[in-house]
Structure 1
Amino acid sequence: MVFRPIKWLFCSLNPIPVEELLDHISAEIYQKSYVVVDGFVDEEFRKALLEEQIALLNQGKFRHAAVGVGEKKQIRTEIRNDQVLWMDAEDLSPLQAEYWEKVEGVRQAVNQRCFLGLRSFESHFARYPIGSFYVRHLDQFQAVPHRLVTVILYLNDSWTPADGGALRMYLPQEDGSELVEDILPLGGRLVVFLSGEIPHEVLPTNKERISITGWLRNID
C-alpha cells in the first residue's frame, strides 16, 4: 500500500474558464479515472447550498442512510452511519437546479471524451455527524450497475486534517498494488471518479461533515 500526497488542481481565487475546466475534468477521468477540483463553485453559492441543507435538516427531512436496494435495503450502522436527503429531479429548489446544471456540463464533457453513455443524474445531500463513517466500498455493484461516475461536492465552511472525515480512495495499480489517497472535504471541492473502478471509504469524522453526493448513470 503506497501513500501519495494530493496535488490540488484549481483555486477559486484563480478561476478557470468553464470550457477549460470541463475539458480538464474529462481528460483526467479518461486518463486516470478520477479528478479533484478545488473551487468548483464560488463561496456565495457554496454557503447558500449549505444553508439550504441545514434548513432541511432542521425540518427533520434527513433519514439514516441504508445499504442495499429494494427488499434488501437495510440500515447497517456498522457499515455506514451518515444521514441523507435525496433530491427530487422533478422538484428541485432553485439552488439544487443550478447545481444540477453545473453537473450537466460535467456529464456532457465526460461523455464526449470517454463515451460512457451517461444519460441522467441522481443525487442526495449527505450529513456525517461527529464520529460517523462509511467503510470501504464501491458505488457500482450488481444491484446498481447503472452508476458509472460518482460526483461529490463538499459544502463545509472549514476543514483541517485534525477534523478527520477524509475521503480515502484506493487506486488500483498495474502491479496489483493500491495507491491510497486521502482527500479532505474542503468546501467547494469537487471529486469525480469512476464508480465501478475506485474503492473508497469515509474515515471517521471529528466534526459534522456536509456534502452533496451523486451519480451519473447510463439510464434515464
Structure 2
Amino acid sequence: MKQGKTKKKNELLADELYTKGWTVMDEYISEEFRIQLLKEQRELLYHGQFRHAGVGNGDTFAIKPEIRSDKVLWLDENQLTPLQQIYWNELDQLRIAINHRCFLGLRSFEAHFAMYPPGSFYLRHLDRFQSVNYRIVSVILYLNDTWDESEGGALRLYFTGSNGLEEHTDIFPIGGRLVVFLSGEIHHEVLPTKATRISLTGWYKDIY
C-alpha cells in the first residue's frame, strides 16, 4: 500500500513539474521519518560537521555572507547513514517518475543538509549555472518541527504567469513539505528567517 501511495505522489509531482516547472507537496514523507532525519541533522550539527555555505564551484568557490548565510553538510553517496540511504532510495523513485513524464535524462542525485540560523538568507539565484550545468531539477525537503509564517524564511519562487509577466509564490518551510523545480529555469531566494530553518536540499543531475 505504501509503495502504491508513494508512486502516486511521485506521478503527481512529475506531472506538475512538467506542466509548470515547479511543484510542492506536503507530507511527502511520514512524520516519524521526518523526526528521525531532523534528529540526525541535529546530532551532526552538534558534532561540528556543518560548514558555511559558499557560492560558485571549484576555483570560483567563495564564502560570501552578503549573498547567502546558511551552513551545510554534504552527504557522501558512498557513506550514507541508514536514514540517508532510505531517503536516497525514495528520491530515486521520484527521479524515475520525473524521467518517465518529463524526459529529462536524470541519472544521479546529490544533496546536503542545510541549516539557516536566525537572521540568515540566500539572495535570488538559479541552481544551475555554468560551472554546475549538470543540475537539472532541484529538490528540497523541509524538516522543521513547527513553522509559523511570522518567522519568515520562505522560499520565494519566481516564474512567468499566464499573462506573460513575472510572478512569485512564497513557500514556507513546513516539516515534511517537498519542493521540486527546474534548476535552470526557476529563479528563487530564501527570505530572511527569524527561526532556525532546516532542510535536505538536493539536485538531480544528468551525469553520474
Opposite residue 83 of structure 1, the aligned amino acid is: K
Gap regions ≥5 residues in structure 1 = 1-15
What CA distance in whole angstroms lies between the structure 2 residues aligned with 1:18 and 1:56?
Answer: 28
Q: Give the SS at the match of 1:143.
A: helix
Opposite residue 70 of structure 2, the aligned amino acid is: D
TM-score (norm: length of structure 2): 0.97
The structure with more helix, counted as a fraction of residues: 2
Other-structure match for 1:77? 65
Match of 2:140 among 132, 143, 152: 152
Q: Report deviation, 1:178.
A: 1.1
Q: Report deviation, 1:174.
A: 5.6
What CA distance in whole angstroms lies between the structure 1 residues aligned with 2:117 and 2:76?
Answer: 23
What CA distance in whole angstroms lies between the structure 1 residues aligned with 2:11 and 2:158?
Answer: 24
Match of 1:201 among 189, 199, 202: 189
1:122-175 deviation line (CA, Å, top 9, x unaligned):
000000000000000000011111000000000000001101000000012365
What CA distance in whole angstroms lies between the structure 1 residues aligned with 2:168 and 2:20?
Answer: 14
TM-score (norm: length of structure 1): 0.91
What CA distance in whole angstroms lies between the structure 2 residues aligned with 1:159 and 1:78?
Answer: 25
Gap regions ≥5 residues in structure 2 = none
Other-structure match for 2:176? 188
1:54-90 deviation line (CA, Å, top 9, x unaligned):
0000000000001001111000000000000000000
Runs of 4+ in 1 over 4 A off after TM superposition: none
User: Is 1:24 equivalent to 2:8 in the alignment?
Assistant: no
What CA distance in whole angstroms lies between the structure 2 residues aligned with 1:160 and 1:180?
Answer: 20
Q: Give the SS at the match of 1:74.
A: coil
Opposite residue 53 of structure 2, the aligned amino acid is: A
Stretch deviating more after TM superposition (190-199 or 172-181): 172-181
